């Protein structure tokens, strides 16, 4: 069931989204060679709790940390660790959720650790661009397939592939709500967007093939061919005036 949000609910989602976005910025400021992924997680949890919110991911389905921190060929759901030390040239994906007064923000971004390769920089750029290509088509007359088509078309044009096993989703009182929002699809197909819908659009883009696999830890997802992967996500409200980014603060 799709839960349409009224104005008071959207106001709470803006608050949750602001905290989520600011937590990602705090994490970004802490990212540098020599820092552990556990430290990044600590920065995020501390910021969220300081704002009077709770880290949505902590304990979600048994996840053991406040944020997903995924490095290089790790696509999503990387578990922060004191043993994982960031090094020059890495790219690191930070995925954060914050719950404030019963509503959630969900956002992700890929950061460079020091100087990175030209290929890695282009992957990060194209992934972010694909999100904004999708944003252009979001309105009350659009369909879910328009979003996925916009994301995939941009990525494929640039020689990259989108992950198909994992998709975006509705977001609100629950972290994951209906509808699913794939990063692929046919324009003009799927559920029609409606005013009051709140969705998380999150391109997950690989430099190589789209195939992925899950590690034995039950969480971390990696590219099957070992290629780099990037991730970019915002929570979005569908409004009379077009899409509203709920988690963008920079």
pLDDT score at 250: 74
Determine the straight-line distance between the first and last CA of the chain, rounded to whole angstroms.
32
User: CB-based contacts of 68: which residues, under 8 Å, 6+ apart?
Assistant: 57, 76, 77, 78, 79, 93, 94, 95, 96, 108, 219
Q: What angle do CA 105, 108, 114 make, to 5 degrees?
A: 145
Q: Answer with the residue of higher pLDDT: 54 or 250.
A: 54
- Rounded average pLDDT over 76-103: 98
Given a contact cutoff of 8 angstroms between Cβ atoms, the answer to whether 33 and 56 are in contact is no
Handedness of CA 229, 230, 235, 236 (dihedral sign): negative
pLDDT, tens digit (0-9, with 9 covering 90-100), for 138-166: 999 899 999 999 999 999 999 999 999 99
Handedness of CA 215, 218, 220, 222 (dihedral sign): positive
Given a contact cutoff of 8 angstroms between Cβ atoms, the answer to whether 167 and 134 are in contact is no
Secondary structure tally for the chain: helices H, strands E: 4, 15
Given a contact cutoff of 8 angstroms between Cβ atoms, the answer to whether 212 and 221 are in contact is yes
Report the SS3 class of residue 115: coil
The b-or-e profile of 101-113 (16+ CB within 10 A means b, else e) is: eebbbbbbbbbbb
Q: What is the pTM of this model?
A: 0.97
pLDDT score at 30: 98
Q: Phi, psi at residue 189, to the nearest 5°?
A: -120, 160
pLDDT score at 65: 98
Place of tokens 């819908």: 197
User: CB-based contacts of 132: which residues, under 8 Å, 6+ apart?
Assistant: none
Bridge partners (DSSP) of residue 199 are 170, 236
pLDDT, tens digit (0-9, with 9 covering 90-100), for 174-205: 999 999 999 999 999 999 999 999 999 999 99
pLDDT score at 119: 98
From 3.40.50.300, 3.90.230.10, 3.40.250.10, 3.40.50.150, which CATH number describes the 7-245 domain?
A: 3.90.230.10
- Rounded average pLDDT over 94-107: 98
pLDDT, tens digit (0-9, with 9 covering 90-100), for 217-230: 999 999 999 999 99
Q: For residue 127, is pLDDT > 80?
A: yes
- Rounded average pLDDT over 114-134: 98
């Amino acid at each position: 069931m799709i839960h349409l949000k009224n104005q008071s609910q959207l106001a709470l989602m803006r608050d949750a989204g602001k905290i989520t976005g600011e937590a990602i910025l705090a994490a970004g400021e802490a990212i540098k060679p020599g820092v552990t992924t556990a430290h990044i997680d600590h920065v995020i949890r501390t910021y969220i709790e300081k704002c009077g919110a709770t880290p949505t991911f902590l304990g979600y389905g048994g996840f053991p940390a406040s944020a997903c921190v995924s490095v290089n060929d790790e696509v999503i759901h990387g578990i922060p660790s004191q043993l994982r030390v960031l090094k020059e040239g890495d790219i690191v994906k930070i995925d954060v959720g914050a719950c404030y007064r019963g509503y959630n923000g969900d956002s992700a971004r890929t950061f460079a650790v020091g100087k990175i390769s030209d290929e890695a920089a282009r992957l990060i750029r194209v992934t972010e661009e694909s999100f904004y290509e999708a944003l252009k088509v979001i309105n009350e007359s659009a369909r879910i397939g328009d979003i996925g088509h916009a994301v995939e078309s941009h990525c494929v044009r640039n020689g990259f592939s989108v992950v198909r096993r994992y998709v975006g989703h509705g977001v609100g009182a629950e972290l994951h709500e209906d509808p699913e929002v794939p990063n692929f699809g046919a324009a003009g197909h799927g559920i029609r967007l409606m005013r009051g819908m709140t969705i998380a659009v999150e391109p997950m883009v690989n430099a190589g093939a789209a195939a992925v696999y899950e590690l034995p830890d039950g969480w971390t997802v990696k590219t099957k061919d070992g290629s780099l992967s990037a991730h970019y996500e915002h929570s979005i409200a569908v409004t009379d005036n077009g899409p509203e980014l709920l988690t963008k603060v920079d």
